[in-house]
Structure 1
Amino acid sequence: MTSTAQSALQWQAAETTAKRITETWNKPGEPGGAITLFDSKTLRGHACGGLSNLTTAEPFSVDAVVRYASVTKHIFATLALLRSDAGLSLSDTLGQYLPQLKAPMAQVTIGQALDMTGGLPDVRETLSLLGVSVYNVSEAGAIMDFLAQDGALNFPAGTEISYSNTGYRLVEEILKQKGILFEDLLQKHIAQPLDIAFHAPETWFDIVPGLVPGYWQDATGWKTAVAGLHLSASGSVTGSVRSLSVWLQSLLSNTGPGAGVLKTLTEPRYLYGDIPSAYGLGTTSSRIGEHTVYGHGGSHAGYKTYFLLHPELDVGVALVSNREDTTAYTHALEVMSALLAAPLPPRSNALPDGLYASTAEPYWLKVSKGTASYLGSADNLYQGEDAGEAVTLSAHMPMRLRWDGKAIQGKIGHAPRYFTPVEPNDCLKMVQGRWYHPESKAAFDIEGDQLKMGVGTLRTCGQLTSLGAGRLLVELPDGPWKKNFCLYFQGYSVRLVSNRSRVLNFHRDECRSSWQPAK
């Protein structure tokens, strides 16, 4: 890095921005987080706020251990591809190593599984659509059996990009079948050489030294977060923001455990048709003014993380938090923007607020106050090439959209999309009763304008909203979140569609259905 570039970095402004963010967490009895600023050699600044533990009232520090969640992905990709001696090639198919998988899932390449273009349905979201709560325990073996039942994909591999944790789970399973464990690789190649406390627990309930609780808030106050799904290498690593920063410094310096890592992980990836993607292998590429930065975020129940690196300028930002409401990506961008003295694009309100749906497809878009929610996953909108274009800065859910006076059109996930304002219809009276998924024995009932799912005290109830053309939008509570998905009716079957899972088909249970109009 040149001395001119070094002198142009605004370390004080970045630390002030970080402290402004963490100060908002300094409220009595609230959780918090920490942000670090660093180059390859030195921790240049940090900011902390809130509490690491609401029971003991211990303040959050740079040494508080959290769940990194999907920040794990770049660490796993590093170890699986560069350090495992497993002989994996990005062009190998999953089926070469996991013969239990069915086509077309078996034909997805390892590269597509790791770069979010594989169309692999996300396990957590698929189970959620079957009525399995975030709290329910699911073991690794049972999940693999579940994935082997049906080889369906959300979309043909390579045709669009959409976030899914399943590819990382499957590649981890490939290593396991070779006798290679993620935790062993993590300790041997990263934690021990760098003398940092990284761990990769298999479940939420494994003991992790120093781990602070994650929290989410409802109308009655803060709650301790918990999740039952087997963690997998898509999001299992734990550590502090100090430990994360040490690892990221080795990436910036391109030495020791970090040697060759950024070059491999950030190598350009492409969809079919040579369409470039900003998502690499567990890393994303973002633009801040004239600068290109690389990073990734993570989100577990009650935990939020993000890091951004500018290898050319030898600088980085890392954020960890133990509160569900943290907007980690936005905060990381703000701090990096201040450091680079490069303003973010202005927020966009080019798309009118409202609910939109595509024609003869189960896709919908909700726009509200400069935020777009596509298939239930929301992202901030920023001004694109001109004031009439709205874009996201997200690599795993890129949007580039315009309002033409009658419709919203453009691309989402690099796939063409066209949305018109929803024209509700009265299909409810035709779909009353029970709908059944024979493979999993799951079912839900439509009673009036409500969808009811689950058994006994676990039964939940969600509101139905018409999207027109035989489609109903569902909103159901699920622990700290609300899940949104579409019911797409086609005769005696209905497909359940959300951003990360679009493969489940339920069928009418004639013994428990009623064709009477909704009351």
Structure 2
Amino acid sequence: MTIDWTQAAARAAGIVDLWQGAGEPGGAIVLFDRDGIREAFSAGHASIEHGLPFTPATPNRYASISKHVLAIALLRAGIPLDRPLGHWLKELPSPLAGVELGRALDMTGGLPDMMEALWQQGVPFTATLSAEEIFALACRLPRLSAETGTEMAYSNTGWRLAQRVLEQETGRSYADIVAELGAAVGAGFRLPYDGAEILPGLATGYWREGESWKRGHYGLHFSASGGIAGSAEDLANWAGALLAGRGALAGMLERLTAPRHFADGAESVYRLGLVCNRLGGVDLVGHGGSLPGYRNHMLMAPALGVGVVVLTNREEEALWHAMTVMARLAGEALPEPATLTPGLFASEEGPFWAELGADSLGFMGGYERLFDDGAGGLRSFPAYLDIRLRQEDADTLAGTIGGQPRRLRRVAAGTQLDPRLVGRWRDADFGTEIEIGADGTALMPWPAGGSLTTLTPLPNGRALARLQHGPWLYRPCFWLEGETLRLGGHRARILRLERV
């Protein structure tokens, strides 16, 4: 197969041209192979307020692209992935302590995501919390979000805990390990633990509100789940070495992408910090990253020995940019976007709901574009979440989401709030209180002090809240389980509230 650098470069140049506007944040797109960087493009500002340009050498926050680096460090240290987290972290409560390290990393452990668990208690992601404060909360988590091995539900918690295991077992700071691994292949990686730490040249993250750009802010401790900072050039040099298996990265790509399975034996597309996909006849491996004001994607074609890095300091989807460049590079056609009738859908029971857009699906807070699968069905090209659905009729979607069978029905217009939801509710584990009014509103602990939100009713004793914080919209689901009111989203489903 011929690699078309010319077409790929033209596509990359066309994307960055869109970031050329005055006062716009920007980004960089770098094409690479096993030997290093082949093409690089950039535009826009790393700092709007200081007029500094975004270049391929500009440090940016990688966000969740960082994850596979920790997996490499764990594999190099010989830490067994089949042992439970409690083997090392004696403070963890059951059942978290019983989750195998490998499942904590491949997102099938059922571990509640710490940020979402905090949100549900009124602590926003802008709150400044240290690693020890977050670990202390993890040690109070009373239950898993789902039975281990049953579904792929994105959670950063396993990666936070795995970093603690690595540091405990090696006696070294993970920041030092990251810098050492990166330097060995010409990548200037840094891992700041605190968002207030000064990183020379770091691009400011931006998100748009109306006609103006605002700076993004993230207060939680930066961990191995998404804390590494570096440039597009750094990441391309690293990924090229990973493709080539150079030095400390010898054999690592194969180990990172080795099949991972659900408890029923089915294979998951999510591996150890990387997602496996296929574009036409080409197998792809990659991962995205998102923090307030930063959106990134890294995509590689191992058999071809090529890849693309897209780093931006603006809130816009990066996966599609990476896909379109990779399609030109590999000479493959892009999948046909789905044409859908928008609407709100929900399962018969439980917190499982989805919002169908014209060409996308938002599932419990996770967003993926949908494409025709060539066999009359719909599929995602997953940034994280593998979706495979069929429309049984205009009002019914059925298939698998995150490896779990789901059947979703369109929510009828005019659905009324179930009166059983009305009242004041309290969670005994955390003291979280929520009051639902007969007028269809809920007083949420958001942030501390409370915020009133209008609920979207779902059938069978359920409703969706709507909580906006900066660029991120959070829509947790209330659902009745007997006499208990549950609250949860895709990443955390641990609150159990009793009527006061």
1:204 matched to 2:195? The reply is: yes
Q: Say yes or no: does 1:186 pair with 2:178.
A: yes
TM-score by length of 1: 0.92
Alignment of 1:204-283 (within 5 A): 204-219=195-210, 221-283=212-274
CA gap of 1:457–1:359, structure 2 versus 1, over 3 A, is closer
Aligned equivalent of 2:43: 49
Q: Tell me how far apart the structure 2 counterparts of residues 168 and 413 of structure 1 sit (CA, whole Å).
A: 19
Count residues in correspondence. Answer: 496
Q: Contact 2:418 / 2:462 at 8 angstroms: preserved in 1?
A: no
Q: Distance in 2 between matches of 1:375 and 1:331?
A: 24
Asked if the contact 1:135/1:227 (under 8 Å) is kept, the reply is yes
Deviations 1:14-58 (A, max 9, x none): 111111111111111110100000112232112112111011111
Matching residue of 2:343: 354
Match of 2:331 among 341, 348, 354: 341
What is the root-mean-square deviation of aligned Cα atoms in Å? 1.7
Q: Name the residue aligned to 1:309.
A: 300
Answer whether contact 1:285 1:293 (CA < 8 A) is retained.
yes
Cα gap change, 1:21 to 1:460, in 2 (>3 Å)? farther
Measured against aligned partners, the alpha-carbon deviations of 1:379-408 in whole angstroms (never above 9, x if no partner) come to 10000132x301111163111111112521
The answer as to 2:391 corresponding to 1:397 is no
1:421 and 2:410 matched: yes
Whether 2:451 is the aligned partner of 1:460: answer: yes
Q: Which amino acid aligns with 2:275?
A: T
The 3-state SS of whatever aligns with 2:248 is helix
Give the stretch that moved more between structures: 233-242 or 197-206.
197-206
- 1: distance between equivalents of 2:167 and 2:328? 43
Equivalent residue letter for 2:25: P
Per the TM alignment, residue 409 of structure 1 is displaced from its structure 2 partner at its CA by: 0.8
> Is the contact between residue 443 and residue 453 of structure 1 (CA under 8 Å) also seen in structure 2?
yes
Indicate how the Cα distance of structure 1 residues 239 and 458 shifts in structure 2: closer, same or farther if over 3 A, else same: farther
Q: Which of 131, 146, 154 is 1:140 aligned to?
A: 131
TM-score of the pair, normalised by structure 2? 0.95
Letter in 2 for 1:189: L
- The one-letter amino acid of 2:155's match is S
* Partner of residue 332 from structure 1, selected from 322, 325, 329: 322
Partner of 1:370: 359
Q: Give me the whole-angstrom Cα distance separating, in 1, the residues matched to 2:133 and 2:368.
A: 33
The amino acid of 2:372's aligned partner reads Q
Give the corresponding residue for 1:161: 152
**3-state SS of paired residue (2:132):** helix
Residue 182 of structure 1 aligns with an amino acid whose one-letter code is Y
SS in structure 1 of the partner of residue 474 of structure 2: strand
Unaligned runs of 5+ in 2: none
Kept in 2: contact 1:462–1:477 (CA 8 A)? no
In 2, the alpha carbon distance for the partners of 1:404 and 1:187 equals: 51
Aligned mate of 1:66, from 38, 47, 60: 60
Deviation, 1:425, is 4.5
In the superposition, relative to structure 1, how do residues 461 and 26 fare at CA in structure 2: closer, same or farther (>3 Å)? farther
Equivalents in 2 of 1:477, 1:395: separation in Å?
A: 23
Query: 2: CA distance between counterparts of 1:429 and 1:42?
Result: 62
Cα separation, 1, equivalents of 2:252 and 2:481: 47
Contiguous gaps of at least 5 residues in structure 1 = 510-519
Partner of 1:35: 29
Equivalent residue for 2:430? 440
What amino acid is the match of 1:181?
A: S
Structure 1 counterpart of 2:283, from 288, 292, 306: 292
SS of corresponding position for 2:465 = strand
